[in-house]
Amino acid sequence: MKFFVDTANLKEIQEAQDLGVLDGVTTNPSLMAKEGITGEDKVRAHYKAICDTVDDNVSAEVISTNFDEMVREGLSLAKIDDKIVVKIPMIKDGVKAIKYLSSQGIRVNCTLVFSAGQALLAAKAGASYVSPFMGRLDDISTDGVALIQQIVHIYQNFSFETEVLAASIRHTMHLIQCAEVGADVVTCPTKVILALLNHPLTDKGLAQFLSDHKKAQEASAQTVA
Ligand code: E4P
């Protein structure tokens, strides 16, 4: 299972990369705006900086919504670095753009997916990744993990190579549920990956080990003296 971080914040990306378990990054226009990155040159430089921080898989989203413009933007984003995966929204022209860009050997992440039918279209069009938004479905009282499971099942039925990238992951339970149903990738804030570390029995056990070790050392020092 791949771990991506869902952020355009370089510090957060570096923190996840330093942990040694990071496989990629997803961004979107809202996340780029949050970092104050606007204007073509700044946007390209920022994507390049992200690519220089991680090993592969940097999703960069197009802003256009018609076929010609999405293709132009996608080709241009892909030139920034071989690690770029062009992110295209699940709309009619988007499906055409996914088909075209994939046929040119460019990896595409189909975003804003909320149904199995949309995921099927994305796979048929040749997307490398499909991004169902689990958290946003949960937000409207719809079972996000059920959708992930359904898409995994459909892709297995037909041996689609499109990877299921569970997006909008808000907490560790989301992440674990995605692992249980076989999502290929999860993307989430770095803090969600770090939260996987937490267990009070680990903290308690480590404190005990260190304290026992210290006591034994002190006892042996007294014996020698
Ligand atoms: C996916 O690629 C999106 O960037 C992201 O996961 C959306 O998450 P949110 O619903 O927390 O904004």
Ligand 1: distance of its center to the CA of 78 in Å? 21
Asked whether residue 113 is assigned to any structural domain, the reply reads yes
Q: Please write the tens of the pLDDT for every residue from 59-115.
A: 999 999 999 999 999 999 999 999 999 999 999 999 999 999 999 999 999 999 999
The DSSP symbol for 128 reads S
Asked whether residue 221 is assigned to any structural domain, the reply reads no
Ligand 1: distance of its center to the CA of 7 in Å? 9
Asked whether residue 207 is assigned to any structural domain, the reply reads no
Asked whether residue 159 is assigned to any structural domain, the reply reads yes
**Protein residue whose Cα sits closest to atom 8 of ligand 1:** 168
Asked whether residue 65 is assigned to any structural domain, the reply reads yes
Cα–Cα distance measured from residue 167 to residue 93, given in angstroms and rounded to the nearest whole number: 22
The number of CA neighbours under 13 Å toward the Cβ of 156 is: 10
The DSSP symbol for 114 reads -
Q: Please write the tens of the pLDDT for every residue from 39-65.
A: 999 999 999 999 999 999 999 999 999
Name the token pair of 117.
């039918």
Q: Please write the tens of the pLDDT for every residue from 14-48.
A: 999 999 999 999 999 999 999 999 999 999 999 99
Residue 133 has pLDDT above 80, yes or no: yes
| Domain count along the chain | 1
Give me the CATH number covering residue 29: 3.20.20.70
Asked whether residue 187 is assigned to any structural domain, the reply reads yes
Asked whether residue 120 is assigned to any structural domain, the reply reads yes
**Which pLDDT score, from 0 to 100, does residue 76 have?**
98
Atom of ligand 1 nearest to the CA of 188: 6
Asked whether residue 211 is assigned to any structural domain, the reply reads no
- Residue 113: exposed, middle, or buried by beta-carbon count in 10 A (0-12, 13-18, 19+)? buried
Q: Is the CB of 168 under 6 A from ligand 1?
A: yes
Q: What is the pTM of this model?
A: 0.95
Ligand 1: distance of its center to the CA of 31 in Å? 9
Q: Is the CB of 167 under 6 A from ligand 1?
A: yes
Domain boundaries, position 192 = 2-199
The number of CA neighbours under 13 Å toward the Cβ of 122 is: 32
